[in-house]
Structure formats: C-alpha cells, structure tokens
C-alpha cells in the first residue's frame, strides 16, 4: 500500500469548510440541508433558482458565475445576474413554444455558453434537462432523443446537419429545434438567439416542487446499454453540500471541472455545485492538451480543480516538463472521479503539482458524490475515502432468495448505500423493473465491488462484471492494474479474465506504453515478472498484450467488457459510447 499522504492545510489558505468529519457524520441530517434550500414560497424548490437567482437576491449578482474560454482563444465572463436574466429569457421562450413542466429539453452541443443558459432556463421552466454528448454519432443521438421523448433540441447548425436532419422524420416527439448559430437557412428550425432576444428577461419564481423531475442523464454505457436516470430538484441539496464539503468550494473561488456536461459530472459539478456555492466556474471549450491545461490553471488562478483519472494519466504521460514554468500556487484542492484513481497518480500529483488528487466515488444514479477523500483528512492512496456525512455506506452480499447480508470489515462485496438521500435517482426511464432490482432491504446496490477497512475507508475492487475468478481467488482488476502502472513504461493497463481449463480464468493484461517505450518480448516478460514479484503467482497476469490505446467510453472509462469480447470473439454489444466509434464524425 502506498504511504499515507498527510493533509495540507496552509495557514495562508481558508480553513476547510468541513472541519470535523467525524462530528459532522455523527450529527448531520438531510432535513437541515434541505431546509437550507427552501427559499421559495409554498414549498417550491428549483435548482436553477438556487444556482443563480439567489445570488442576485442577496446582492452578489455581479460576481462572475461563468468564465468561458473558447477554443480559439476567446474569453467571456457571465455574471450571476446575466445568467439569471438569460435563463429567464430562455425559460420564457420555451413557454412561448408551449413547453412546460415535465417536457424534455435535450442539448447536443460542445461546451458553449448557450449550453449553460439552456440548462438553467429549462429547469426554471419546470422542464427536464437532458444533455447529449456532442461527439455521439447520429444513431446514439437518435436513440437518446427517442428514449427521452424530447420535444426540444438545442444544437448547432453543423451538428444538426450531420446528426439530425436526415432522421428528423423518425423523431415524431421532437417539435422544436433551436440552432445556437442559426443563419436562418435551415428550414424547420428556430434561431436560439432570436428567441432569446424576444423573450422578456423577467419571470416570476419557478413553481417546481422538490420531487419534480429536473434532470435526465444517460449512464456511460461502460457495462452495457446506457440507462436513463431521473433526478429531481431536491438533488440540489446534495450538490450544494458536496460542493461545500468535498470540493471545499466557497464564494469567490475559481473552480474548474474538466468533465463535459454530456455526462453527469459535467452537470452536477460542471454547472450546479459551483453555482449554488457562489464560485466562478471556468469552462474550457477545447479538448485535452496538457500544456493548455497547465496554462489555464496558472492564468485563471484556479483554486479548486475536479478532473478524472484518464486525464490525470494523460498528464502523467506528458511528463513533468509540461508543467514547468507554470505557477499552480493558487490550487487549494484537487479531486478526481469516474474511475479508480491509481495510488501512483496520487503520489505523482503531490510530487509534480504540489498537491495530491483526492479520489471521489459516485455514479449517475447517485447524482452526487457519496464517498470521498476530504481536505481535512489524510489520504490513503488507492482508497476512495469515506462516506459523506448523511450517507450510510456498507459492503453487502445479495442473498439468493432476495435481501442482503452486511459483510465485515475487510470482506469483499457489493458497495451499497442506505436509500433516501436527496440526489438519489428516482427512476430509470421506462424501466421500473430494473430500477426496483437496484434496491434490497432499504439499500441501493451499486453494482461495484469494494472493501471497507476497519477504519471505515472504502477500497474499490472492480465492477461486478469485471471481477476475475481464478483458482478459487476473486481478483479485482484495479489491484493488478495499479501494480503495472507502477512500472515506468506503462501508461495504461486493463485486465480481463480469460477462460482456462485448469484455473477457471486466468488474468490477461492489456498494456499501453508511454511514448518513449516500444513493445518487445523482453519488455513483456519484464512486466509479467514485475507483476508476479509484487502480486504473487495466483493473482499476477499470465498473459500480457501491448495495444496502442485501451478502448474507452467517451467519458474516459476503460471498457474491459470490450477487451473481453474482442479477446474471446464475442459480440461487442452496445458500443454507442465507445470513444472513436464514429471517426468520420470529428468532435465538434
């Protein structure tokens, strides 16, 4: 196990928002957090109102809410007041189009300012906001538009022409298409900006109630066909609290979330949490580039940064040279989500960036961070951390006849959460049966395997489907991948179980090398030996194959099921979210 990393609390920085984790866990109740939110009369609650209008109401409207960095060097600030007005206009425009409570409004666009206006305006109108990742090809877009029964789609002319126009007749629910850059030449579409200009910028407070549907997010599709998870306005209590306690956000902070709003992280933490906490959200329209990223951290004086293991591994690959000459001293807190965070990445970040990444665990279904490493606590690298105050987490085993048994510390089982937190999903769209299968004895069952140690820290083992059974052992891919990642030649590693006559399954590793290394038989043997000395023969991979890149979802998760299917010659299943699946459709 990598050595403990001590918390960094500098005297010249503000004290952590969450000062005493244990005391807060002992006393916290969601009722208190939810009561804090009720700012509207008649028990009404609205995420967008909490996010922007409340700052206007308390006189902080002139603070920059959104700092947009365009891919061609543009830079534009939107204050809380401006976002409140623009989202009012958009909500009014939706109403003029006859769109109201419960209707689905989808957006298919890159990280452009109109996306943020659409999200907030849709929520104010009481409609359900559903983001679609802009690099999806026409078929995944169609499937999601059909499933969500979207009545409105906001998109760009280019994306419309490439992905929607030809199949519009097959989308009977889709009544209105709003083009953010319309020049009036596309029949059957509206100009987003013309609509915005005609809508008044005042509105009476939203009428949504806490349990009204607010967000529809499709999962990443890492394990199969993506599911549509529904979240309600009450979720904002969890966004605010996790923003405050886990990300340590406070008014005046400059905050950067690198996740695309096409996925849940890019909405919960790339729109809602920073706004409800009064921070300035930095949005970078461009794709990953190590030097650009370091330049943004430096120039924008980013205080809090939330990113993902894939991006961190790419930064590691780019080497320490890329960070040289950049001043990252404004950074107070860095966190990661989406995949297991290799201990190697935590120690690397401390050595190279001066701060450690803090792992956080959650899912589309949980709506907000559930398990985390907090600023006020030391980090055990490789651990996801401890449950948020207000969240009861446990390791359980499903009983064959129904129900679950709680397991002891150190035992491996399914990670479960006591149902009932505000951002818990309320449904899988049109799949009530599947939704019900996620619950047993009052627990939500996550489908992830983990261990809880004697001190209450949770350790990710793998997804239910990715775990390998070999010679009577259960092996989680994460521990094997972590060890290979420690070797200087390895950029990324993915592990699968391969059927074997004697052992049941053997572990096979797929490895992508860092740029200065070339595949060779000698290196393969060296890596197998390296893993064997650290893991022992029972757990270490028996086979190892070099591949240029591991297959990943567009949200950056390694798709081990595809490695498995390719290896075993099985059908690939749903690949709608596979990165690079539509090479003729460049990310636009």
Question: Under the criterion CB under 6 A, does residue 338 sit at the interface with ligand ATP?
Answer: yes
Q: Which range in 102-110, 123-131, 173-181, 223-231 contacts ligand ATP by CB under 6 A?
A: 223-231
- We find the least distance from the C-beta atom of residue 427 to ligand ATP, in angstroms, to be 15
Give the SS3 label for residue 525: helix
Nearer to ligand ATP, 224 or 442 (CB): 224
DSSP structure string for 135-169: T--HHHHHHHHHHHT-SEEEE-HHHIIIIIGGGGG
CA distance 412 to 176: 50
Query: Over the Cα atoms of the chain, what is R_g?
Result: 23
**Partner touching 80 among Mg ion, ligand ATP, none, CB below 5 to 8 Å by kind:** none
What's CA 400's distance to the chain center, in Å? 32
Phi first, then psi: give them for residue 196, nearest 5 degrees: -60, -40
What angle separates helix 309-318 from helix 343-353, to the nearest 10 degrees? 50
- We find the least distance from the C-beta atom of residue 462 to ligand ATP, in angstroms, to be 8
**Partner touching 359 among Mg ion, ligand ATP, none, CB below 5 to 8 Å by kind:** ligand ATP
- We find the least distance from the C-beta atom of residue 416 to ligand ATP, in angstroms, to be 12
What's CA 309's distance to the chain center, in Å? 11
Question: Under the criterion CB under 6 A, does residue 304 sit at the interface with ligand ATP?
Answer: no
Question: Under the criterion CB under 6 A, does residue 131 sit at the interface with ligand ATP?
Answer: no
Look at the alpha carbons of 450, 458, 344, 321 in this order and tell me if their dihedral is positive or negative.
positive
- We find the least distance from the C-beta atom of residue 12 to ligand ATP, in angstroms, to be 30
Other C-beta atoms lying within 10 Å of the C-beta of residue 183: 8
Question: Under the criterion CB under 6 A, does residue 219 sit at the interface with ligand ATP?
Answer: yes
Nearer to ligand ATP, 68 or 421 (CB): 421
Q: Which range in 96-104, 155-163, 212-220, 383-391 contacts Mg ion by CB under 5 A?
A: 212-220
Is residue 185 classed exposed, middle or buried when 0-12, 13-18 and 19+ CB atoms within 10 A define those classes? exposed
Give CA torsion, residues 147, 152, 153, 154, to 10 deg.
Answer: -150
- We find the least distance from the C-beta atom of residue 219 to Mg ion, in angstroms, to be 5
Site for ligand ATP in 378-407 (CB under 6 A): 384
Q: Which range in 219-227, 376-384, 533-541, 567-575 contacts Mg ion by CB under 5 A?
A: 219-227
**Partner touching 144 among Mg ion, ligand ATP, none, CB below 5 to 8 Å by kind:** none
Taken as a whole, the chain contains a residue count of: 588
Q: Which range in 43-51, 221-229, 288-296, 543-551 contacts ligand ATP by CB under 6 A?
A: 221-229
Question: Under the criterion CB under 6 A, does residue 221 sit at the interface with ligand ATP?
Answer: yes
Question: Under the criterion CB under 6 A, does residue 339 sit at the interface with ligand ATP?
Answer: yes
- We find the least distance from the C-beta atom of residue 576 to ligand ATP, in angstroms, to be 10
- Helix (H) or strand (E) run with residue 293 in it: helix 290-299
Look at the alpha carbons of 472, 473, 475, 480 in this order and tell me if their dihedral is positive or negative.
negative
| Structure tokens that stand for 497 in this block | 């179980």
Among 88, 155, 220, 303, binds ligand ATP (CB under 6 A): 220
Question: Under the criterion CB under 6 A, does residue 231 sit at the interface with ligand ATP?
Answer: no
C-alpha closest to that of 216 among 227, 208, 205: 227
Give the SS3 label for residue 562: helix
Q: Which range in 114-122, 159-167, 214-222, 406-414 contacts ligand ATP by CB under 6 A?
A: 214-222
Nearer to Mg ion, 79 or 219 (CB): 219
Nearer to ligand ATP, 193 or 355 (CB): 355
- We find the least distance from the C-beta atom of residue 124 to ligand ATP, in angstroms, to be 26
C-alpha closest to that of 247 among 417, 116, 373, 381: 373
Residue with tokens 């390719």: 566
User: What value, to the nearest 5°, has the Cα angle with vertex 515 and ends 511 and 519?
Assistant: 50
Question: Under the criterion CB under 6 A, does residue 226 sit at the interface with ligand ATP?
Answer: yes
- Helix runs in 383-520, H state only: 432-437, 477-485
Question: Under the criterion CB under 6 A, does residue 363 sit at the interface with ligand ATP?
Answer: yes
Site for ligand ATP in 72-111 (CB under 6 A): none
Nearer to Mg ion, 371 or 485 (CB): 371
Other C-beta atoms lying within 10 Å of the C-beta of residue 408: 9
Site for ligand ATP in 442-481 (CB under 6 A): 446, 448, 460, 463
Nearer to ligand ATP, 220 or 280 (CB): 220
Q: Which range in 164-172, 215-223, 473-481, 538-546 contacts Mg ion by CB under 5 A?
A: 215-223
CA distance 137 to 155: 14
Q: How many residues bind ligand ATP (CB under 6 A)?
A: 26
Look at the alpha carbons of 418, 424, 427, 428 in this order and tell me if their dihedral is positive or negative.
negative
Residues 321-333: b if buried by 16+ CB within 10 A, e if exposed:
ebbeebebebbbb
Site for ligand ATP in 530-559 (CB under 6 A): 555, 557
Using CB under 5 A, list all residues that contact Mg ion: 219
Using CB under 6 A, list all residues that contact ligand ATP: 219-224, 226-227, 264, 337-341, 359-361, 363-364, 384, 446, 448, 460, 463, 555, 557
């Amino acid at each position: 196990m990598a050595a403990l990393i001590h918390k960094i609390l500098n005297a010249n920085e503000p004290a952590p928002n969450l000062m005493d984790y244990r005391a807060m866990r002992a006393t916290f109740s969601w009722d208190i957090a939810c009561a804090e939110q009720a700012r509207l009369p008649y028990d009404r609650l609205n995420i967008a109102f909490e996010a922007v209008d409340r700052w206007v109401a308390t006189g902080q409207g002139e603070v920059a809410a959104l700092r947009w960095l365009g891919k061609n060097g543009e830079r534009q600030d939107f204050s809380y007041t401006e976002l409140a007005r623009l989202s009012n206009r958009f909500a009014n425009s939706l109403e003029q189009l006859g769109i109201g409570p419960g209707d689905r409004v989808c957006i298919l666009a890159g990280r452009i300012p109109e996306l943020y206006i659409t999200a907030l305006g849709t929520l104010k109108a009481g409609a359900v906001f559903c983001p679609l990742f802009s690099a999806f090809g026409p078929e995944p877009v169609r499937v999601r538009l059909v499933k969500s029964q979207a009545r409105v789609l906001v998109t760009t002319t280019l994306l419309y022409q490439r992905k929607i126009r030809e199949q519009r007749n097959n989308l009977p629910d889709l009544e209105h298409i709003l083009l953010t850059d319309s020049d009036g030449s596309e029949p059957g579409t509206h100009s987003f900006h013309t609509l915005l200009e005609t809508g008044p910028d005042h509105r009476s407070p939203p009428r949504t109630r806490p349990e009204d549907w607010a967000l529809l997010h499709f999962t990443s599709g890492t394990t199969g066909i993506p599911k549509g998870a529904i979240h309600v306005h009450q979720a904002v209590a969890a966004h605010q609290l996790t923003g405050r306690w886990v990300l340590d956000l406070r008014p005046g902070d400059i905050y950067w979330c690198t996740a695309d709003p096409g996925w849940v992280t890019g909405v919960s933490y790339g729109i809602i949490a920073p706004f409800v906490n009064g921070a300035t959200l930095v949005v970078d329209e461009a794709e990953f580039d190590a030097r650009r990223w370091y330049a943004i951290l430096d120039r924008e004086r980013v205080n809090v940064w939330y990113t993902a293991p894939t991006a961190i591994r790419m930064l590691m690959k780019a080497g320490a040279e890329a960070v040289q000459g950049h001043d990252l001293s404004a950074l107070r807190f860095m966190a990661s989500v989406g995949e297991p965070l290799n201990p190697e990445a935590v120690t690397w970040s401390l050595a190279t960036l001066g701060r450690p990444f803090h792992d956080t665990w959650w899912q589309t279904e949980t709506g907000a961070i559930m398990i985390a490493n907090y600023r006020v606590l030391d980090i055990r690298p490789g651990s996801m951390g401890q449950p948020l105050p207000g969240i009861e987490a446990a390791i359980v085993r499903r009983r064959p006849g129904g129900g679950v048994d709680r397991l002891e510390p150190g035992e491996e089982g399914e990670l479960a959460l006591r149902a009932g937190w505000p951002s818990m999903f309320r449904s899988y769209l049109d799949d009530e049966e599947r939704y019900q299968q996620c619950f047993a004895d009052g627990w939500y069952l996550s489908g992830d395997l983990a261990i809880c140690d004697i001190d209450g820290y949770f350790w990710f083992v793998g997804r239910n489907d990715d775990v390998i059974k070999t010679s009577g052992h259960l092996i989680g891919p994460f521990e094997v991948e972590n060890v290979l990642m420690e070797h200087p030649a390895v950029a990324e590693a993915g592990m699968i179980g391969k059927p074997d006559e004697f052992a049941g399954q053997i572990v096979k590793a797929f490895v992508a090398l860092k740029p200065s290394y070339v595949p060779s038989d000698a290196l393969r043997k060296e890596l197998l030996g390296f893993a064997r000395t650290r893991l022992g023969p029972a757990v270490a991979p028996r086979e190892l194959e070099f591949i240029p890149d591991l297959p990943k979802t567009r949200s950056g998760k390694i798709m081990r099921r595809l490695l498995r299917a390719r290896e075993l010659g099985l059908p690939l299943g749903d690949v709608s979210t596979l990165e690079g699946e539509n090479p003729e459709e460049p990310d636009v």
